Amino acid sequence: MKKITNNIFGLTLIETLMIISIILLILIIEGPNIKNYSNNWILKSATQDLASDLRYTQQLTVTEQRIYNVSIDTVNKKYSVILEPSTTIKTVYLPSSTSFGAINGFTDNKVTFNFMGAVSQSGSITISNQQGTSKIIYIRPSGYIEIN
Delimit the domains of the chain by residue range: 13-147
What integer pLDDT is reported at residue 2 of this predicted model? 63
* Alpha carbons 90 and 105: distance in angstroms, whole number: 23
Question: What is the band of 37 on the pLDDT scale with cuts at 50, 70, 90?
Answer: confident
The yes-or-no verdict on residue 1 having pLDDT over 70 is no
Cβ atoms within 10 Å of 60's Cβ, excluding its own: 17
Class for the domain spanning 13-147 = alpha beta
pLDDT in tens, 66-97: 999 999 999 999 999 999 998 999 999 999 99
Closest CA to 82 of 109, 100, 102: 109
What integer pLDDT is reported at residue 30 of this predicted model? 81
The yes-or-no verdict on residue 6 having pLDDT over 70 is no
The stretches of the chain forming alpha helices (DSSP H) are 13-64
pLDDT in tens, 121-148: 999 999 999 888 999 999 999 999 999 9
Is pLDDT larger for residue 12 or for residue 55? Answer: 55
pLDDT in tens, 44-72: 999 999 999 999 999 999 999 999 999 99
